[in-house]
Amino acid sequence: MKEGLHHRKIIHVDMDAFYASVEQLDNPELVGKPIAVGGSAERGVVAAASYEARKFGVRSAMSSIIAKRNCPDLIFVKPRFERYKEVSTQIREIFLEYTDLVEPLSLDEAYLDVTENKKGNPSATLIAKEIRAKIKEKTGLNASAGISINKFIAKIASDHNKPNGQKTVHPEEIEEFLEKLQIRKFHGVGKVTAEKMYQFGIFNGFDLKQKSEEFLTEHFGKSGAHYYKVVRGIHLSEVKPDRIRKSLGAERTFDTNISSEIFMLERLQNISEEIEKRLKKGKVAGKTVTLKIKYSDFSQQTRSKTLSYFISDKDLILETAKELLYQEKMKESVRLLGITLSNLNTGKDEEKCNNKEIAVQLKFEF
């Protein structure tokens, strides 16, 4: 057992309905109203929903048409990503006042390792409280936080007292916390996996813990070993400020469904150009091109090709995407196209964690 690993103090900070909250902050007329960022009443997909909209079942990644059906008074707002990045930078600066070990997951959430911190504060709980107060003071926005000994538990805990709350899962509470947790609340367990687990009588952490690693691996592949460990509080992934990007992509939802391949190629060209800019900015290239197609009936399809060399040029990306487009005939008109480049030349593989277990019966200030 590695000394120090089980003394880590990890905070997961998650902004509350970030995009929607920024819009309400900048436009007081939207405060208290159900709003959706992205899409429109006729087309598109919801990127974020205010808590007022969520009460009606409006969620991110939901079709705008369904969102409007759920909430007839829903107000659609165009996203302003430059503004969101600006606010995100302010929040990041607050994080860095406490620790350099900050791993951003997106514009609105990040992991912080405050085991040793710039304030010399031994309590991760108090640090999280301070950070949330500073975010509120500097940006006017609310944040929630989860605190525990590893990233997995901290991530789950941050969702526990949303919005504008926090939860600390102390080392001695981890076993009970995870055993009582509904399986669909486990980070990384999606709807399909949850349904499959229900068929095996796995409804919460306790049920999951009764299954052997062999059983879980047999039925859930590599993820099975992961589930076996995390339900026992074992998750050794460190907070990495220079987290390695695994893929880079862009997609477009169209105002009207497209059935003409000429129009599709035009859209793919625009997407390829955007990806090239982002690749050059990040100084990376990739080998695997994946084409994502969403049809008018909302069914989705992906087609991939791995090249023998790295590419970052828009023409080569487009050429491969065209090949994938023509791979088979379209079954319906198309409402969304996307391209992702993965298998990037980031220079090193993700650091592999060892399999040593961590005792969680620890008593220290948290």
Beta bridge mates, 289: 305, 341
User: How many whole angstroms separate alpha carbon 236 and alpha carbon 255?
Assistant: 45
Query: Omega before 163 cis (within 30°)?
Result: yes
Among 199, 205, 167, residue whose Cα is nearest residue 184: 205
Please report which helix (H) or strand (E) contains residue 138, including its range.
helix 124-139
- For 86, residues 6+ apart whose C-beta sits below 8 A from its C-beta are none
Question: Who contacts 166 (Cβ-Cβ below 8 Å, separation ≥6)?
Answer: 125, 128, 129, 132, 144, 145, 146, 147, 157, 158
Tell me how far apart the alpha carbons of residues 214 and 39 are, in angstroms, rounded to a whole number. Answer: 44
**CA–CA distance, 366 with 363 (Å, rounded to integer):** 9
How many Å apart are CA 62 and CA 138, to the nearest integer? Answer: 31
DSSP string, 10-27: EEEEEETTHHHHHHHHH-
Q: Judge whether 77 and 37 are in contact, CB under 8 Å.
A: yes
Q: Please state the φ and ψ torsions of residue 70, each to the nearest 5 degrees.
A: -70, -35
User: Which active-site residues does the annotation give?
Assistant: 109
- Spatial separation of the C-alpha atoms in residues 350 and 247, rounded to whole Å: 13
DSSP secondary structure string for all residues of 207-224:
HHHTS-HHHHHHHHTHHH
Side-chain half-sphere CA neighbours of 239 within 13 A: 26
| Spatial separation of the C-alpha atoms in residues 307 and 304, rounded to whole Å | 10
Q: How far is CA 337 from the centre of its chain?
A: 21
